[in-house]
């Protein structure tokens, strides 16, 4: 598990936005991963995806690393943000926009607004 923890730590530190997910950003393998990747892709956020299905050590290790039992898991500037429900709520409330702005992460504000308009 040490190798997995090291890989997770290095990945989270080396990338501004990381999504640990089932599948990839272009081919998610579960609905929850698809929703979060879809939001990030639609908003034009550049992010690193880690397919937990490719490595069982990473799949279990990320749950221990964050002390969060489910996948997907989003990290911004090295900090754990949350899973699918939290990211969905943050997107709809505008909190995710604020987080990206505070962390100097580029995103498309118009796309974020369209997501909110479509979910009113």
> Which residues define the annotated binding site?
30
β-partners of residue 50 are 20
Can you say which residues are annotated as belonging to the binding site for [2Fe-2S] cluster?
30
Q: Using CA atoms, how far apart are residues 116 and 49, in angstroms rounded to an integer?
A: 24
CA distances from 86 to 3, 6, 57 (A): 28, 26, 25
Residue with tokens 């698809």: 34
């Amino acid at each position: 598990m040490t190798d997995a923890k090291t890989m997770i730590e290095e990945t989270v530190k080396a990338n501004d936005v990381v999504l640990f997910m089932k599948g990839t950003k272009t081919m998610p393998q579960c609905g929850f991963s698809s929703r979060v990747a879809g939001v990030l892709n639609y908003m034009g956020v550049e992010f690193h995806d880690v397919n937990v299905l490719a490595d069982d050590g990473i799949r279990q290790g990320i749950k221990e690393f964050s002390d969060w039992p489910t996948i997907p898991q989003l990290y911004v500037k090295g900090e754990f943000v949350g899973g699918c429900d939290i990211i969905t709520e943050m997107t709809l409330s505008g909190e995710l926009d604020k987080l990206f702005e505070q962390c100097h992460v580029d995103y498309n504000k118009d796309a974020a607004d369209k997501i909110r308009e479509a979910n009113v």
